[in-house]
Amino acid sequence: MRLGFSSIAAMATLFAMAACSSHDGRPPRARPVFSPNGEILSAGGKGAPTCPEAMGAWWDRIAAGHGGAFTKEALVADANTQFDAMDLDHDGFITPSELSDYRSSLDEDGGLEAVTPPGEPSADTQMHPRRRGDTYVQPKIRAAQIPADVVDPVMSADKSLSFKVSREDFIAQANENFTEFDKDHNGKLSKEELVDTCPAR
């Protein structure tokens, strides 16, 4: 049986709840938010966008690039773009170490940035809660900071447990995710359908 993105995320949430219950009152560890295709949308923690906020902003960005609609083709196109970015040695596979290197090199400090021209706010800006001039800066996150109980949406495509993900694996997962997310089966993802993939708080 192949589990989809939201099913796996729900299982991770259960593990997280069990883990949090044994922290003796300490605040839970910041939990990053990933897009279904493995892009880090939020580092989690205080002041960072919540999963619904980050996922909603991601929907806005993807839909804007595809005529205002979020279709399966849009999700697969984004998956191909993400795969190209993460396949650092261009050998057609993503390994755990390669993924870690990619995430650590998102900028020189291992964080994420998005620049918004003055006077031109966009939906993406809500993903970046701290402002430095005209740049909205995502809180820093490195692969080593990702909690062990957070299901990695990239390596989860490795259904054969070969410790590497091919483009075919990754695109197959994107197609499966779309089918799972599209609850009304109309061939498009609404923002609500995507936000509903966020784990319950």
Q: Where are the domains of the chain?
A: 5-195
List, in order, residues 6 or more apart from 1 with CB less than 8 Å away. Answer: none
Both tokens of 130, joined, read: 């701290």
Q: Is 114 helix (H, G, I), strand (E, B) or coil?
A: strand
> Please, what is the Cα angle at 120 between 57 and 134, to 5 degrees?
90
Q: What rounded mean pLDDT belongs to the chain?
A: 77
CA pair distance 186, 6, nearest whole angstrom = 19
**Residue 38: CB atoms within 10 Å:** 25
Tell me what the mean pLDDT of segment 2-15 comes to.
Answer: 50
**Residue 70: CB atoms within 10 Å:** 26
Place of tokens 């192949």: 2
Place of tokens 């923690």: 45
Do the Cβ atoms of 127 and 57 come closer than 8 Å? yes
Give the model's pLDDT for residue 6: 56
Overall pTM > 0.75: no
> How would residue 151 be classed by pLDDT, with cut points 50, 70 and 90?
confident
